[in-house]
A and B are shown apart, each in its own frame.
Chain A
């Protein structure tokens, strides 16, 4: 099992360009998440999908859109990139259950620089 995979690993964009970050998981998990990690701020939730067909905003959704393509895949789109979106982006998944401690499994991250 590959777990959670993310593409690309690195990306450099110019201000105003658009791009889509891809995430896939092979653990048959219901819930998927997109986070960004910045120095001094920790991990912050951008969007999440509790189950296939649903998406909800997290703490910092502005400037982003998401698509839960199917149970396996959850993509994050930047329509018009800004330097403030320079960050490391992590996708995560977990099996939704009664107990919220259910482990979130993280991908390796995408390092994005916006010039």
Chain B
């Protein structure tokens, strides 16, 4: 079983919709939770990160972490066609030597 599970989609929504992307994980040592965005034929780029449990908001994007359920979410409000990309969750432990463990990625298309 994978340490990080993420529904690969594809997910298709109309412009303006609220998008919910999720990951579950099994390793209780994970403390840092990140969302990367990857446009087609490009490398991933960091979108947001959260430490431990709680919420973090950045413009139209909100990241949530529920460590008790081992579940993280990324919400996109007022989605735009430019949000069409693959979204990867990533996690790591506490120490500086910890490596990132990635989810498979969810492919999102926002239709005009």
State which size class the interface on A falls in.
20 to 34
B95 located at the interface, meaning its Cβ lies under 8 Å from any Cβ of chain A in the complex: yes
Q: How far is the CA of A50 from the CA of B34 in the complex (A)?
A: 20
Q: How far is the CA of A90 from the CA of B42 in the complex (A)?
A: 10
B43–A42 contact, CB under 8 A? Answer: no
B66 located at the interface, meaning its Cβ lies under 8 Å from any Cβ of chain A in the complex: no
Number of interface residues of B (CB under 8 A): 28
Q: How far is the CA of A11 from the CA of B41 in the complex (A)?
A: 15
B99–A58 contact, CB under 8 A? Answer: yes
Q: How far is the CA of A40 from the CA of B105 in the complex (A)?
A: 9
Query: Which chain A residues border B103 with CB–CB below 8 Å?
Result: 42
A104–B97 contact, CB under 8 A? Answer: no
A100–B42 contact, CB under 8 A? Answer: no
Q: Is the interface of B mostly helix, strand, loop or mixed?
A: loop
B57 located at the interface, meaning its Cβ lies under 8 Å from any Cβ of chain A in the complex: no
Q: How far is the CA of A30 from the CA of B25 in the complex (A)?
A: 29
A48 smallest CB distance to B (angstroms): 7
Q: Given the known inter-chain contacts A40-B8, A40-B104, A101-B34, please indicate yes or no for A90 contacting B99, CB distance below 8 A.
A: no
Looking at A13-21, A63-71, A76-84, A91-99, the stretch in contact with chain B turns out to be A91-99
B102–A43 contact, CB under 8 A? Answer: yes
A99 smallest CB distance to B (angstroms): 7
Query: Which chain B residues border A4 with CB–CB below 8 Å?
Result: 43
Query: Which chain A residues border B100 with CB–CB below 8 Å?
Result: 45, 100, 104
Q: How far is the CA of A98 from the CA of B94 in the complex (A)?
A: 9
Q: What residues of chain B have their CB less than 8 Å away from a CB belonging to chain A? A: 4, 6, 8, 32, 34, 41-46, 49, 51, 88, 90, 92-100, 102-105
